[in-house]
Amino acid sequence: MGGFLASRFMSDVFNGVANGIIFSLIALSLVVVWQSTNVLNFAQGAMATFATYIGMTQVEHGINIWLCMVISVVVGFIFGGLTERVLIRPLYGKPDINPIVVMVGFLGFLQFLAAAIWGNIPRILPSPFSQVFYTSKGHTIFLSPFVVFQILTAVTVMMIVALVFRFTTLGLKLRAAALAPEVARLLGVRVDRLLTFGWMISSAVGSFTAILVAMQNGSALSPSVMGSVFIFGFIAAAVGGLDSPIGAVVGGLLIGLVEQFTLDYWQANMAPVMALVVLIVVLMIRPRGLFTKNTQRRV
Amino acid sequence: MIRVAHLTVKYGAIAALTDVSFEVRPGSITAVLGANGAGKTTLLRTISSLMTPSQGEIFLGDTALVGQKTEDIARLGVAHVPEGRGVVAEFTVEENLRLGALSSPENSAHAVAAQFERFPVLAQRRKQYAATLSGGERQMLALARALVARPTVLLLDEPSLGLSPMVTADIMTTISTLSREEKLTVVLVEQNAKSALRIADHAVVLHVGTVVADAPAGDVANNDDLKRFYLGLVK
Amino acid sequence: MLRPNFHRLPTTSRWIVILGVTATALGFTFTFNAGLNAQIASGAAISIVVLGLTWLTGWSGQISLGNSGFMACGGYFVGVWANHHAATPLVISLLFATAAGALGGLILAVPATRLRGPYLAGATLAFATVTSSLVYVFGNWTGGPTSQLFLNSLTTPSWFARMFSGIQASLNSSAQYGADLAICVAAIAFLFMSNLFHSRLGRAMTLVRDNDVSAELMGINLRRTRTIAFVIAAALGGLGGGLQTLLNGSVTPGSFPLTISITLLTLMVLGGIGTLTGAVLGGLIFAVSSNVINWLCSTAGISSTSNLGTNMQGIVFSVLLMTTMLIAPQGISGNIVRGYRHLMQRFTSKIDNSPA
Ligand SMILES: Nc1ncnc2c1ncn2[C@@H]1O[C@H](COP(=O)(O)OP(=O)(O)O)[C@@H](O)[C@H]1O
Ligand SMILES: [Mg+2]
């Protein structure tokens, strides 16, 4: 058994899932705001990084690491709301290009500002769990307590998001605001607030993801730490379909596995190339992603 | 109950409504009639603040509606069933009703149950997605959803659209009963003048954005000129 | 009515304007010092890339965040080629760079022309990332992380040097040579594009952008038109990237970072999307930006080597990009045109109202 778990194939699966679940979280938070506001948040990674800097640099002031994580997520939550109110709200109903350009500008702004405030030198974050891999009868299994923590918390976050959206009144309102904003307003739903709230949730999930990314083995917190992760997350979301939360999760895992197998069996630099190839192939066959129903709701 | 005064609404430079004034008495059914493009939908959308008039006022009792938010108007007890019914196709029948109950003052589970009692057709299809309902069932769902929040005013935009004459008659009877039993004030926008006039107390006829008649429904129903020129009912 | 809208000028007037601007710019290079001429050179190179972007985004309606990838195609091709064939004439190198960019555009166009809006923006961004990983994948040719130096790629010809000091090229004359060369290359690109904007293809492009359904009904092949738009934009990107590589005499993976895509967007939006004038303004803004930023920093007492100082340009550009898009999305040239029309309207209506 230990031999099987330590096999090259299973090691790749573990690593692929561990990375993929990160992409899933990014994709999920992209989908949450895309569904409700039709804005693809290109600044998602940068916003998350910024919030993470604010929270996690408190570790240097002797504050408990768990508390720092909470601070980051709360900052992300508020940050998401502010962003929607100030930058996004004036753009509703404008051509596609306007929100894209503004969010790309915001991405640059946050990344350069983070570099200006905290410098470009990466900061290694302490990890709340050991990053040493488990061993079984002398075989190394590519799972560490931290990786297990990463996967479990990511799954928990996804479950919470799913449960809230599917089974609560708040979720009902959020879905209605996304699917049929005008009807929702006619029924007395305060759609504006819900859109802000959607951005807040998305941004909080993003911040949490950035913490995990920065804590990972071999990684550290830097202004561009989410750069390539965001690209993989976007690819995951587009592969799954920007309208589908389930698609986001599946797309993330798929891209994570593709990345891992590519870098193990070929080379690391081919991983983004293969991810792009997957994206292209999927979009050629299904232009709106694997999990989007073929409704022409927004034309 | 509702008073519209000198209302002018424009799309860009083109006016869809010009100086429209009329009143809706409490507890009555007022039919707003007119051909395609007469401005009926625009009128309802302006009452619900989905559009802003360039001139004029709308009052609900003593409350001015112009400038208020759509969701606040809904919370004042104005239920608007939009053109095409506005049923959320991706939601189940029950979810659609729960959505309607959100701004309801009373226990929402209760309010939903009450509507299932009133519309047994819907109760049987509780878990079915609205996308799979027939046209008549969708209209029932839209009506039921409007009623969960216990409104005082019901704005209906072409409930008969795309329905067979039999189903239309059915819906009209339901509206008439509702209005009487619940003391609802109804504004019934219709192209199908015949069915609407059958249940309406009063009628307002629009023609290219202006009011050409504002009279008791019986008078309109008996006025051949109106019927011929504006309502397409040729004897 | 009189319109200062450059696009609407007849061909000859357009050519005269472009040649006039070129001659003026060339004239200025005689008065500038080496540092300023180097900046002018890179501004001219980047304006070519902005020209491609403004054609793609403003004229054909396809947003792209991947133009740094096209620059990398051109830049690396020139670099790799120069390593093996040091004596390649300049014109040939630049043509190769253009072709390399166009090839990149053709490859990207296959998926990209099927995508719209954010899908397109994200996919092009991914393309830009992928080009920089490909530099490592083909490390044998590109040198991977190490930079490729080819010192003699842009030798100032003796006839040019002779106009100044003597046989030997000096620092000043070679900087001016770089600037003049870049300006001339840019002028050719602008002349070419000014005609293209007005050709049948250009008009088809705007039709496709504004209403693809009716364009298709008129017999325009959407995929083909969009592909051509991509290839042309990419060719200009490759040309700009190749020119920059020649001017720098080196190319590294850091030469075409993703942040260039933000810079390009900023220059395009600031200048005015979809206009030639906007692309010229964009290049000019880029040329003077470092001076302005340095001046700003020193006025504000910010050390240019501090974290804030080194990131100031990025911050300023990003803020400009956001605010322009939020407040005046037509950019400088668009607003000048609007202001001018406004003035002319007031002027003409006054004349109309005056008694005869
Ligand atoms: N979104 C819109 N933009 C521009 N004009 C519109 C729009 N909606 C409706 N109109 C115009 O306003 C007028 C009234 O339309 P509407 O209120 O929908 O009429 P009705 O509901 O009576 O058929 C029509 O002439 C229509 O063309
Ligand atoms: Mg209508």
- The tens digit of pLDDT for each residue in B78-92 reads 999 999 989 999 999
Question: Amino acid identity of B178?
Answer: L
C147, exposed or middle or buried, with CB in 10 Å at 0-12, 13-18, 19+? middle
Question: Amino acid identity of B48?
Answer: S
Phi, psi of C182, rounded to the nearest 5 degrees? -60, -40
Q: Do A169 and B102 touch (CB under 8 A)?
A: yes
C109/chain A closest Cα distance in angstroms: 11
Q: Do A235 and C126 touch (CB under 8 A)?
A: yes
Smallest CA-to-CA distance from B71 within A175, A193, A164, A166 is with A193
> Taking CA atoms, what residue in A is nearest to C323?
A102
**Residue A2: in which H helix or E strand, if any?**
helix A2-5
Q: Indicate contact of C with B: 3+ CB pairs under 8 A.
A: no
Q: Indicate if the pLDDT at residue A41 is higher than 80.
A: yes
Cβ-Cβ contacts under 8 Å, C327 against chain A: none
Smallest CA-to-CA distance from A234 within A260, A211, A206, A207 is with A206
- Residues B8-20 have a mean pLDDT of 94
Q: Indicate if the pLDDT at residue B58 is higher than 50.
A: yes
Under a CB-based contact definition with an 8 Å cutoff, are residues C251 and C145 in contact? no
pLDDT tens column, A190-227: 999 999 999 999 999 999 999 999 998 888 999 999 99
Q: How far apart are CA C270 and CA C248, in angstroms?
A: 26
Phi, psi of B59, rounded to the nearest 5 degrees? -120, 140
Q: Indicate if the pLDDT at residue B20 is higher than 70.
A: yes
B105/chain A closest Cα distance in angstroms: 12
- Residues C120-138 have a mean pLDDT of 91
Q: How far apart are CA A93 and CA B134, in angstroms?
A: 32
Under a CB-based contact definition with an 8 Å cutoff, are residues C191 and C12 in contact? no
Kindly state if the Cβ of B56 falls inside 6 Å of ligand 1: no
| pLDDT value, residue A1 | 60
- C150 versus C329: the higher-pLDDT residue is C329
C214, exposed or middle or buried, with CB in 10 Å at 0-12, 13-18, 19+? exposed
| Residue B206 alpha carbon, nearest atom of ligand 1 | 22
Q: How far apart are CA A251 and CA A228, in angstroms?
A: 16
Question: Amino acid identity of A219?
Answer: S
Cβ-Cβ contacts under 8 Å, A179 against chain B: 88, 90-91
Instruction: Give chains near A: 3+ CB pairs under 8 A.
Output: B, C
Taking the centre of ligand 2 as the mean of its atom positions, its distance from the CA of residue B41, in whole angstroms, is 4
Q: Indicate if the pLDDT at residue A298 is higher than 60.
A: no
pLDDT tens column, A70-127: 999 999 999 999 999 999 999 988 888 999 999 999 999 999 999 999 999 999 999 8
| pLDDT value, residue A297 | 39
C4, exposed or middle or buried, with CB in 10 Å at 0-12, 13-18, 19+? middle
| pLDDT value, residue A136 | 80
| pLDDT value, residue B182 | 87
Q: Indicate if the pLDDT at residue C139 is higher than 90.
A: no
Q: Do B99 and A173 touch (CB under 8 A)?
A: yes
High-pLDDT (> 70) share of chain B, %: 98
Q: Do A180 and B95 touch (CB under 8 A)?
A: no
Q: Indicate if the pLDDT at residue A63 is higher than 60.
A: yes
Q: Indicate if the pLDDT at residue C89 is higher than 50.
A: yes
The class level of CATH for C5-286 reads: mainly alpha
Question: Which tokens belong to A118?
Answer: 């905290």
Cβ-Cβ contacts under 8 Å, B102 against chain A: 169, 172-173, 187-189
Lowest-pLDDT range of A184-193, A262-271, B106-115? B106-115
Phi, psi of B27, rounded to the nearest 5 degrees? 75, 5
Top residue of C57, C211, C262, C266 to mutate, by most chain A CBs within 10 Å, is C262
Q: Do B98 and A185 touch (CB under 8 A)?
A: no
- Residues A184-188 have a mean pLDDT of 93
Question: Which tokens belong to C79?
Answer: 């670099």
Q: Do A115 and C266 touch (CB under 8 A)?
A: no
| pLDDT value, residue C6 | 58
Cβ-Cβ contacts under 8 Å, A191 against chain B: 71
| pTM of the entire predicted model | 0.89
Q: Indicate if the pLDDT at residue A296 is higher than 50.
A: no
Cα distances (angstroms) measured from residue B132 to each of B128, B175, C305:
7, 23, 65
Taking the centre of ligand 1 as the mean of its atom positions, its distance from the CA of residue C324, in whole angstroms, is 34
Q: Where are the alpha helices (DSSP H) in chain B?
A: 40-47, 70-75, 93-101, 108-118, 120-124, 135-148, 165-182, 193-199, 217-222, 224-229
Say how many C-beta atoms besides its own lie within 10 A of residue C165's C-beta. Answer: 11
Output the CA torsion A93→A97→A98→A101 (10° steps).
150
Q: How far apart are CA C223 and CA C110, in angstroms?
A: 9
High-pLDDT (> 70) share of chain A, %: 97
Q: Which residue puts its alpha carbon closest to atom 26 of ligand 1?
A: B37
| Residue B83 alpha carbon, nearest atom of ligand 1 | 21
Question: Which tokens belong to B219?
Answer: 């008078």
Interface of A with B (CB under 8 A): 169, 172-173, 175-176, 179-180, 182-191
Confidence of residue C356 (pLDDT cuts 50, 70, 90): very low
A287, exposed or middle or buried, with CB in 10 Å at 0-12, 13-18, 19+? middle
Residue to mutate (ligand 1; options B17, B36, B41, B156; most atoms within 8 A of CB): B41
Confidence of residue C31 (pLDDT cuts 50, 70, 90): confident
Nearest to B88 among A179, A188, A190 (CB): A179
pLDDT tens column, C207-254: 888 888 888 888 888 899 999 999 999 999 999 999 999 998 888 888
Tracing tokens 């009963």 back to the chain, one arrives at B177
How many Cα atoms within 13 Å fall on the side-chain side of residue C353? 6
> Taking CA atoms, what residue in B is nearest to A293?
B90
Q: Indicate if the pLDDT at residue C10 is higher than 70.
A: yes
Tracing tokens 């037509």 back to the chain, one arrives at C330
Q: Which residue puts its alpha carbon closest to atom 5 of ligand 1?
A: B11
Taking the centre of ligand 1 as the mean of its atom positions, its distance from the CA of residue B45, in whole angstroms, is 11
Question: ipTM above 0.95?
Answer: no
Nearest to B88 among A183, A185, A191 (CB): A183
C125/chain A closest Cα distance in angstroms: 8
Question: Which tokens belong to A298?
Answer: 């927004």
Q: How far apart are CA C54 and CA C34, in angstroms?
A: 30
High-pLDDT (> 70) share of chain C, %: 89
pLDDT tens column, C276-293: 999 999 999 999 998 999
- Residues B194-216 have a mean pLDDT of 93
Q: Which residue puts its alpha carbon closest to atom 20 of ligand 1?
A: B37
Kindly state if the Cβ of B40 falls inside 6 Å of ligand 1: yes
Smallest CA-to-CA distance from B8 within B42, B37, B41, B34 is with B42
Q: Indicate if the pLDDT at residue C2 is higher than 50.
A: no
Kindly state if the Cβ of B111 falls inside 6 Å of ligand 1: no
Tracing tokens 């719209």 back to the chain, one arrives at C116
Q: Which residue puts its alpha carbon closest to atom 24 of ligand 1?
A: B37
Kindly state if the Cβ of B13 falls inside 6 Å of ligand 1: no
| pLDDT value, residue A256 | 96
Q: How far apart are CA C270 and CA C282, in angstroms?
A: 7
In chain C, residues 297-326 whose CB comes closer than 8 Å to chain A? 307-308, 310-312, 314-315, 317-319, 321-322, 325-326
pLDDT tens column, C152-181: 566 666 667 666 655 556 777 888 888 999
The mean pLDDT value of chain B amounts to: 91
- Encode C110-171 in three state secondary structure: HHHCCCCHHHHHHHHHHHHHHHHHHHHHCHHHHCCCCCEECCCCCCCCHHHHHCCCCCCCCH
Q: Indicate if the pLDDT at residue B128 is higher than 70.
A: yes
| pLDDT value, residue C136 | 87
Cβ-Cβ contacts under 8 Å, C110 against chain A: 280
Q: Which residues contact A128 (CB under 8 A, 6 or more apart)?
A: A65, A66, A146, A149, A215
Q: Indicate if the pLDDT at residue A135 is higher than 90.
A: no
Under a CB-based contact definition with an 8 Å cutoff, are residues A60 and A125 in contact? no
Under a CB-based contact definition with an 8 Å cutoff, are residues A297 and A179 in contact? yes
Tell me the three state secondary structure of residue B154.
strand
| pLDDT value, residue C50 | 97
Q: How far apart are CA C63 and CA C53, in angstroms?
A: 8
- Residues B25-34 have a mean pLDDT of 94
Length of chain C: 356
Cβ-Cβ contacts under 8 Å, C321 against chain A: 101-102, 104-105, 108
- A200 versus A291: the higher-pLDDT residue is A200
Confidence of residue C43 (pLDDT cuts 50, 70, 90): very high
Taking the centre of ligand 1 as the mean of its atom positions, its distance from the CA of residue B190, in whole angstroms, is 15
Under a CB-based contact definition with an 8 Å cutoff, are residues C270 and C320 in contact? yes
Q: Indicate if the pLDDT at residue B127 is higher than 90.
A: yes
Q: Indicate if the pLDDT at residue A299 is higher than 70.
A: no
| pLDDT value, residue C70 | 96
Instruction: Give chains near B: 3+ CB pairs under 8 A.
Output: A
The CA-based diameter of chain A, rounded to the nearest angstrom, is: 65
C151, exposed or middle or buried, with CB in 10 Å at 0-12, 13-18, 19+? exposed
| pLDDT value, residue C167 | 52
Question: Which tokens belong to B145?
Answer: 């959803």
- The residues spanned by each domain of chain C are 5-286
Nearest to C318 among A112, A228, A235 (CB): A112
Q: How far apart are CA C274 and CA C192, in angstroms?
A: 15
Q: What's the DSSP call for residue C249?
A: T
Question: Amino acid identity of B2?
Answer: I
The mean pLDDT value of chain C amounts to: 86
Length of chain B: 235
Q: Where are the alpha helices (DSSP H) in chain C?
A: 11-29, 34-54, 67-84, 90-112, 117-137, 139-142, 158-162, 171-198, 200-210, 212-217, 222-248, 259-271, 276-300, 307-327, 331-353
| Residue B35 alpha carbon, nearest atom of ligand 1 | 22
Say how many C-beta atoms besides its own lie within 10 A of residue C239's C-beta. Answer: 32
- Residues C51-58 have a mean pLDDT of 94
